């Protein structure tokens, strides 16, 4: 059962061909088997999962039909799930039990999902490899010597390793799309405001967005449909209704103009990777899309812009972790000492770096030069996309700058790590919906390197999630890169 897609599991449970409790037990056994190799979860939530599964079976028995009946779910550990330890991968929240559930997670539970565990992530979702987690190491199912990507590394690895059918993830600058690409799964970031952020532990409020990670585009679309929609608890959630997407999946791309970004030429990514992307673009054309050339002249300022806005917001968002109301507290003879010791011990180096950058960028005398200018650059970038979407319906480009890299490869060079998100940050700044769908395999050219999955990023105009999923499905069904190939050693359970 756990080899099946979420769509198939839900169909079987709704048809009473399988009980949610049976699916769950098989899933828990799989988790037990895989966790020593993968480490996708920071915590397993068996007890809650069993209660949820029983409840699903009761509802089905009572005649209900649930869109995600009995589907095992991994919840990224920066999302609150009542009664579970929720840490955001940080020592500063170690042992903190959430007393409430995030809106997006609640909608998934209401739709029949069964929460198997809390997935690992870079601390406070700051990172691109999961190496910044203070609480655990997650390995890439395609090569355990390599990172799963980040920040939603636990979510992507759990889905790739069949430790869950679906996973919640969050994307601030690429944190859904990059790990999805690294782990050969589908990851989608909705339009900013589509999915409620209530209960998502904030990193950068104006960029954070929850989205699905799944093994198929259809699964991701179904999961998105459940999570999307206005939430009165989140002022920034869009008041407009979210159009269902799962019904609009396509088999071809006729009538769609797909833009290739002039500034995103893949030649520099290496011959092997370049070939994968060129082949992907040809496949889009073969499916009937008209390929056009578009420009994003300000995209090159994406990283610089992002690394002012995101840390600025983070420096303020993370101020609440002070040891006063929850979380471990450092002792001191006065309150300043208590703050300093709590935060010095609680935050990891990358989080501290970003708090410092953000505090500096917002400081009196620097605010106009940094924060205000970054906001202007952000507006220019959104304008670039608007212009580009005048000439095309979707944009196609890489989801990450390389395949999954070995642990420690980026060493202590934060900028090398930041560059992983070069292709995903501009869309985040513009608030656009974008996804990564597997588009082939390549080695990174190092001796003896295994073949690793690559992700094709598709980007749609604001609110056009249906178009995005529709096209991605056509591409996925035509190519089947990871539908017919599981990570080495996992073939038996594909």
Residues interacting with another protein, by CB under 8 A? 78-80, 86, 88, 93, 96, 98-100, 102, 197-202, 204-206, 232-236, 312-313, 315-316, 319-322, 324-326, 335, 339, 359, 362-364, 367, 371
Say whether 237 is catalytic: no
Q: Shortest gap between Cβ of 394 and another protein (angstroms)?
A: 28
In angstroms, what is the minimal distance from the CB of 80 to another protein?
5
Tokens representing residue 254 in the block? 């006729």
Burial 151-169 (b: 16+ CB within 10 A, else e): bbbbbbbbbbbbbbbbbbb
Q: In this complex, which beta carbon is closest to another protein, that of residue 137 or of residue 316?
A: 316
Give the Cα separation of 396 and 196 in Å (integer). 27
Q: How far is CA 192 from CA 3, 428, 434, in A?
A: 32, 8, 11
Q: Of the residues 175, 237, 401, 402, which is catalytic?
A: 175
Q: Name the catalytic one among 5, 44, 76, 401.
A: 76
Q: Is 151 in the active site?
A: yes
Taking residue 292's Cβ as centre, other Cβ atoms within 10 Å add up to 14
Distance of CA 406 to the CA centre of its chain: 20
Question: To the nearest whole angstrom, how small is the minimum distance from the Cβ of residue 205 to another protein?
Answer: 4
Q: Would you call 428 a catalytic residue per the annotation?
A: no
Rounded to a whole number of angstroms, the minimum distance from the CB of residue 316 to another protein is 5
Q: How far is the CB of 409 from another protein (least distance, A)?
A: 31
Of residues 242, 121, 125, 245, the one with CA closest to residue 193: 242
Question: HSE on the CB side for 467, CA within 13 Å?
Answer: 22
The residue among 99 and 390 lying less far from another protein, judged by its C-beta, is 99
By annotation, the residues acting in catalysis are: 76, 151, 175
């Amino acid at each position: 059962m756990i080899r099946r897609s979420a769509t198939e599991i839900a169909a079987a449970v709704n048809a009473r061909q399988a009980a949610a409790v049976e699916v769950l037990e098989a899933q828990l056994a799989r988790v037990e088997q895989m966790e020593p190799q993968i480490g996708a979860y920071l915590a397993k939530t068996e007890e809650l999962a069993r209660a949820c599964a029983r409840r699903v079976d009761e509802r089905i028995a009572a005649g209900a039909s649930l869109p995600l009946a009995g589907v095992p779910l991994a919840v990224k550990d920066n999302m609150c799930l009542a009664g579970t330890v929720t840490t955001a991968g940080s020592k500063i929240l170690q042992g903190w039990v959430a007393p409430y559930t995030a809106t997006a997670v609640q909608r998934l539970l209401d739709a029949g999902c069964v929460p198997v565990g809390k997935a690992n992530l870079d601390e406070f979702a700051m990172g691109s490899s999961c190496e910044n987690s203070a609480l655990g190491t997650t390995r890439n199912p395609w090569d355990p010597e390599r990172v799963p990507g980040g920040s939603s590394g636990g979510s992507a690895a759990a889905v790739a390793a069949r430790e869950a059918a679906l996973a919640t993830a969050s994307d601030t600058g690429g944190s859904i799309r990059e790990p999805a690409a690294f782990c050969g799964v589908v990851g989608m970031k909705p339009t900013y405001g589509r999915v409620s952020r209530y209960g998502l532990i904030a990193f950068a409020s104006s960029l954070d967005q929850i989205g699905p990670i799944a093994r198929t585009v259809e699964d991701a679309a179904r999961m998105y449909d459940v999570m999307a929609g206005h939430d009165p608890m989140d002022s920034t959630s869009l008041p407009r209704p979210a159009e269902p997407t799962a019904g609009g999946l396509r088999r071809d791309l006729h009538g769609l103009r797909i833009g290739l970004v002039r500034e995103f030429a893949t030649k520099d990514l290496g011959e092997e990777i370049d070939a994968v992307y060129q082949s992907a673009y040809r496949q889009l054309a073969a499916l009937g899309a008209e390929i056009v050339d578009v420009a994003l002249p300000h995209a090159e300022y994406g990283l610089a812009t992002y690394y002012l806005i995101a840390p600025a917001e983070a420096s303020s968002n993370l101020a609440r972790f002070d040891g006063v109301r929850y979380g471990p507290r450092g002792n001191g003879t006065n309150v300043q000492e208590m703050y300093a010791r709590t935060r010095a011990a609680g935050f990891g180096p990358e989080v501290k770096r970003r708090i410092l950058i953000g505090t500096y960028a917002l400081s009196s005398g620097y605010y106009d030069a940094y924060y205000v200018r970054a906001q202007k650059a952000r507006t220019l970038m959104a304008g670039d996309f608007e212009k580009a979407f005048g000439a095309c319906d979707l944009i196609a480009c890489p989801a990450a700058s390389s395949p999954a890299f070995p642990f420690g490869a980026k060493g202590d060079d934060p900028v090398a790590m930041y560059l992983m998100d070069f292709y995903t940050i501009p869309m985040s700044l513009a608030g656009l919906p974008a996804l990564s769908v597997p588009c082939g395999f390549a080695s990174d050219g190092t001796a003896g390197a295994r073949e690793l999955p690559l992700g094709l990023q598709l980007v749609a105009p604001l609110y056009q999630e249906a178009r995005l999923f529709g096209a991605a499905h056509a591409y996925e069904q035509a190519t089947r890169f990871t539908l017919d190939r599981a990570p080495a050693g996992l073939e038996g359970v594909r």
